[in-house]
Amino acid sequence: MPEKTDQLQAEAWLVEWTETEVGWGQRSDGAWYYATEEAARTDTDRMLAEIRALEKEMENRPRKLPMEYDRPELPPRLVPVSPELAREIAEKGRAYRRQAE
């Protein structure tokens, strides 16, 4: 009888980002992977605060929106990842992957 070798699947919390560019449209702008949902939410909240600060700065300019901006696709999702990506997340706390063009 063959030996059963069940491998545990590595998982991470995924936050995908969408870029919007004036006159062009929208496209996937990459993704951040995190070890925990809390880390995903905390880091995304920090990045959104930076975006909101830029938007606030833009209020006093003739052009109210930036030429391009990013937004997260929330909420974070738990997804399977490769062992290599899981190691990178464990070492750095998060990992970024650019979407294929």
Identify the residue with better confidence: 57 or 100: 57
What pLDDT score does 1 carry?
Answer: 41
End-to-end CA distance of the chain: 46
Q: Hey, is 85 helix, strand or coil?
A: helix
- 24-66 pLDDT, tens digit per residue, is 888 888 999 999 999 999 999 999 998 888 878 777 777 666 6
User: DSSP secondary structure string, 34-53?
Assistant: ESSHHHHHHHHHHHHHHHHH
pTM of the model: 0.76
Give domain limits for the chain: 11-97
| Burial grade of 30 (CB within 10 A; 0-12, 13-18, 19 or more) | middle
CB 87 within 8 A of CB 35: no
Please state, for a pLDDT cut of 70, what percent of the chain lies above it.
85
